[in-house]
Structure 1
């Protein structure tokens, strides 16, 4: 394969280095074939390839590494290694390399390819033509969340992954600081995204008094799972870069915050949401409650928090776009989504 100037695959030198690393670990022999990029909504490099008839997917940080890129990848392969001891659907970890000298400064890992599809970007004929099947797909997302929330993070070796003490108390000040940080972009005029202070006050006043720590995926929406091509089952939860030890009910709130968000130019459910026939938010909560021992009576608070946090995160892309560091079309679309998220937060706060 010729060198790839766009950085979406791997150069010939990187492929050779990867093959040598695999040789030393008994992961096949001979050339790496059928090398192609795995596209998606991430800036990390993902490459699919084969060796001696076995499929692999490599994941590493972006071509231009950021200060924490390698830390994020190390975090991901630590989580995938721990999930092997659970019934949470995920891509199985094959091997990980924490040595930055192998791929030009980037750590990486290899995982099993997932035999499934992302319903955010495609909907096979079987699923597109069966409304009952799509309804079950919605419930399958919640089932996967409940499985993740049931994992004993200490028992699987993730006790040091996050700081569960004070997790809920830290959320509002943490994300207000993030919003304030966008002032570093001179082109950003400041947030015009709705009643930020009002939402922050409501969250502080209604915060649950206690919670049970567990594994929090951190970005659990309908486009971050892969479904079976033969049915409604979730076969893998993907994109673990925001995972931590926190309150798993925030994952459920995140799903509800992004569930068929009205008027948003950046639908989180993509093709699945557009096809329709999905469970209502209240049905999703009821299903989670059936599958989990966690108390969901405060789920409205978690959904408002998800709207608040995600809206602020997406506004950062708008600030960067105004500064010329991201495409303006993307920044404007995500700014619109932030507006919808804060509108949803206010509706929930009013009890509707």
Structure 2
């Protein structure tokens, strides 16, 4: 999600058809006689429509972000997803994890045109380019350690993690010359999941869900967004997910670095190489064959170079590196 750094907000979307009820709900939630006087759709999302809103009234203008599920699949699952995100935003408001302030949720579209969640606008922007990618990886690793160290009361814990693929669901590249590599990877996840020490997970932590400000030594993370998949499970799985994303964005070497940076920042991963390999491969195979699910929003955010062929090649190189190191 792109935040407010370097992007103009225009009012052309204010009267967009299909969200008049949602707009009325937002104005009521903000209160104080406010009115939405500008809105802009944000780029880079896959599961939902994101809008940045400016509300004006008797006081200072306020900036909000509205998440709305409009695709039928996500509308069907909106109650669980948006309710979970609302609960997580409340939980993390008492921690050092930089998250948006929760302002309201209508998870079943009782008042809105679509299931929606309203939150504050965070500073910063998504950064996916090659410049300073290594520096950002260090910040990502440090932030992930902080997320995993959040203590969650038993009654407030999110659901146990869900695997996003299985041996029977993996789609192999049609033109691959490394079928043996893919079959070896699929065989890895035919095993029962390894034992693990559970912790709080973002579950979809990757550069597209992190906001940055500053340059060089002054770079910092100012927001972590998209908590609908927050889960309870192994730290290895969160590290695996971000590692795969980095491998796709910047190459296998960058994807392999993250776990080392995470450990150097005080994180804890499985000491059993076979167990760690399982989680890494499980996540990587969920992107097969061409990572198109993330490629579409990443291209919208400027990474036009991420063709299907390039992403398939990088995924294969990453799997090869995983086997070389852990297999």
Q: Same fold (TM over 0.5)?
A: yes
Moved more, 310-319 or 36-45: 310-319
2:38 corresponds to which of 34, 39, 43: 34
- d(CA) in 1 for partners of 2:312, 2:84: 28
1:108 corresponds to which of 104, 116, 121: 116
Can you list the C-alpha shifts for 1:46-80, whole angstroms capped at 9, x where unaligned? 11111130111100112556432443333322322
- d(CA) in 1 for partners of 2:86, 2:25: 17
Q: Which residue of structure 1 aligns with residue 142 of structure 2?
A: 143
For normalisation by structure 1, the TM-score amounts to 0.68
Q: RMSD of the TM alignment (CA)?
A: 3.9
Q: Which residue of structure 1 aligns with residue 297 of structure 2?
A: none
Query: Pairwise mapping of residues 240-279 of structure 1 onto structure 2 (< 5 A)?
Result: 240-259=227-246, 261=247, 267-268=248-249
Q: 1:193 to 1:54 in 2, by over 3 A?
A: farther
1:224 corresponds to which of 209, 216, 234: 209
- d(CA) in 1 for partners of 2:19, 2:286: 37
Are the aligned partners of 1:61 and 1:70 in contact in 2 as well (CA < 8 Å)? no
Query: Pairwise mapping of residues 1-352 of structure 1 onto structure 2 (< 5 A)?
Result: 11=16, 14-15=19-20, 17-22=21-26, 24-25=28-29, 27-52=31-56, 53-62=61-70, 64=72, 66=74, 67-104=76-113, 106-120=114-128, 135-154=134-153, 158-159=156-157, 161-163=158-160, 171=163, 174-179=165-170, 194=179, 195-203=181-189, 208=194, 210-229=195-214, 231-259=218-246, 261=247, 267-268=248-249, 281-282=256-257, 284-292=258-266, 294-298=268-272, 301-302=275-276, 305-315=279-289, 333-334=307-308, 336-351=310-325
Helix, strand or coil for the counterpart of 2:156? coil
Following TM superposition, by how much is the alpha carbon of 1:294 offset from its aligned partner in structure 2, in angstroms?
A: 1.9
Helix, strand or coil for the counterpart of 2:38? strand
Q: 1:292 to 1:317 in 2, by over 3 A?
A: closer
Q: 1:232 to 1:25 in 2, by over 3 A?
A: same
For normalisation by structure 2, the TM-score amounts to 0.73
Aligned residues: 297
- d(CA) in 2 for partners of 1:234, 1:318: 26
Following TM superposition, by how much is the alpha carbon of 1:150 offset from its aligned partner in structure 2, in angstroms?
A: 0.9
Helix, strand or coil for the counterpart of 1:177? coil
Q: Which residue of structure 2 aligns with residue 326 of structure 1?
A: none
Helix, strand or coil for the counterpart of 2:147? helix
Q: Which residue of structure 1 aligns with residue 299 of structure 2?
A: none
Can you list the C-alpha shifts for 1:297-340, whole angstroms capped at 9, x where unaligned? 34675466334434334438779xxxxxxxxxx9x944652453
Following TM superposition, by how much is the alpha carbon of 1:13 offset from its aligned partner in structure 2, in angstroms?
A: 6.5
* Gaps in structure 1 of 5+ consecutive residues: 183-187, 262-266, 320-329
Helix, strand or coil for the counterpart of 1:350? helix
